[in-house]
Amino acid sequence: MPTKISNQDKGVVDELQQEAHRLGFSRLGITSAEPPPRQDRFAQWLDQGFAGVMENWLRRHLPLRSSPESLLPGTQSVIMLATDYDAKTVSSRESPNHGQIARYAVGRDYHDVLRSRLNHLGGWLEHAIPGCKTRGVVDSAPLAEREFAARAGLGWFGKNTMLIDQGAGSYFFLSGLLATVALPTHQPIEVDHCGTCTACLDICPTDALPEPRVLDATRCISALTIEDRGPVEGGLRSHFGNWIFGCDLCQEVCPWNRHAPGTEDPELQAIENEEMPSLIELLRLDQAAFRKKFHDSPILRAKRVGLLRSAAIALGNHPSASGDVPAG
């Protein structure tokens, strides 16, 4: 049952923000549990076939994306949290012997880090407002996190489909805390600060951004190296370069990321030597070695078969780097 908030309890929002910062979250925004906008456009996007291998899962959970109530009965508020990650990771794309990994994936698995923090924040709120129930969400439920975060004022949708904050750019994780109490809400950013810039659209080597704010996941290097573990169309492979897990190109050229703050959070720092693993070393990993090396990493998501396929593509794009390629 929803919990009513008293005038005295309205001051809890300031304390909630302080507690969130103490736990390591960078920014916080609150919105209602009402369905967010853009859901009709999301359905159209699915109908256009842009979801690739994710289509069945996304269609199956489409009604849940805009319904926090279905995830936590009685939800009245969606507390969205942004957590900056290591934006200053140096990537040497000039080294054909190594694989390129998206910045967000060179540290610990953010799901584990943020889930623990959400549990602590939820416990704090339940103690502060008796009767309130909470549920943390970090890619663990089919919630339209970016849409709720935008309505909570955490950024605007860039032309690369990423959520962008004027001060932090787009190098941040999103997570949410559902609450059965009606908290004061924040206002969305109504201005499109992208202006006439098309840098993200222009840089994409596979033309995965056919128009502003539309992503074709069947051509996106990030989607293809993380979610799709099958064969890659020959015409796309040569554009992968040495990206083997994710891709940051459309974020790297964004002007709003020039001064992205990054993070000093030890739990989200890049793990030494993980930024650019040796492609030959990856191809030598058996299943047990793969799980041992990436047990605490988002890279586990690609599974061994997906990561080795991407490593083979990267070697194919740089034949001189193949060296002593294992046969098995």
Q: How confident is the model at residue 244 (pLDDT cuts 50, 70, 90)?
A: very high
- Is the pLDDT score of 41 beyond 80? yes
Q: Are 168 and 27 in contact (CB under 8 A)?
A: yes
Mean pLDDT, all residues of the chain: 91
The pLDDT assigned to 97 comes to 85
Closest CA to 101 of 307, 305, 285, 293: 307
The residue count for the chain: 328
Tokens read off for 243: 């990206």
- Is the pLDDT score of 272 beyond 80? no
- Is the pLDDT score of 127 beyond 50? yes
The pLDDT assigned to 27 comes to 98
pLDDT tens digit string along 134-193?
A: 999 998 789 999 999 999 999 999 999 999 999 999 999 999 999 999 999 999 999 999
- Is the pLDDT score of 327 beyond 50? no
Task: List helix spans (H) across the chain.
Answer: 12-23, 39-47, 55-60, 62-65, 68-71, 110-128, 145-151, 199-203, 221-226, 234-237, 249-252, 279-283, 287-294, 303-317
pLDDT tens digit string along 62-118?
A: 999 999 999 999 999 999 999 999 887 655 456 778 899 999 998 899 999 999 999
Q: CATH classification of 8-89+108-179 is 3.30.1330, yes or no?
A: no
Min mean pLDDT across 112-116, 128-132, 145-149, 258-262 is at: 258-262
Residue percentage of the chain with pLDDT more than 70: 91
The pLDDT assigned to 86 comes to 87
Q: Where are the beta strands (DSSP E) in 71-201?
A: 77-84, 100-101, 134-137, 156-157, 163-164, 172-179
- Is the pLDDT score of 6 beyond 70? no
Selection from 3-7, 34-38, 198-202, 313-317 with the highest mean pLDDT: 198-202
Residue percentage of the chain with pLDDT more than 90: 79
Q: List the chain domain ranges.
A: 8-89+108-179, 199-260+271-321
The one catalytic residue among 14, 40, 86, 139: 139
DSSP 232-263: --HHHHTTSTTEEE---HHHHT-GGGTT----
The pLDDT assigned to 318 comes to 85
Overall average pLDDT of the 24-33 stretch: 98
Would you call 139 a catalytic residue per the annotation? yes
- Is the pLDDT score of 310 beyond 90? yes
Neighbours of 270 (CB within 10 A): 19
Neighbours of 318 (CB within 10 A): 15
- Is the pLDDT score of 323 beyond 80? no
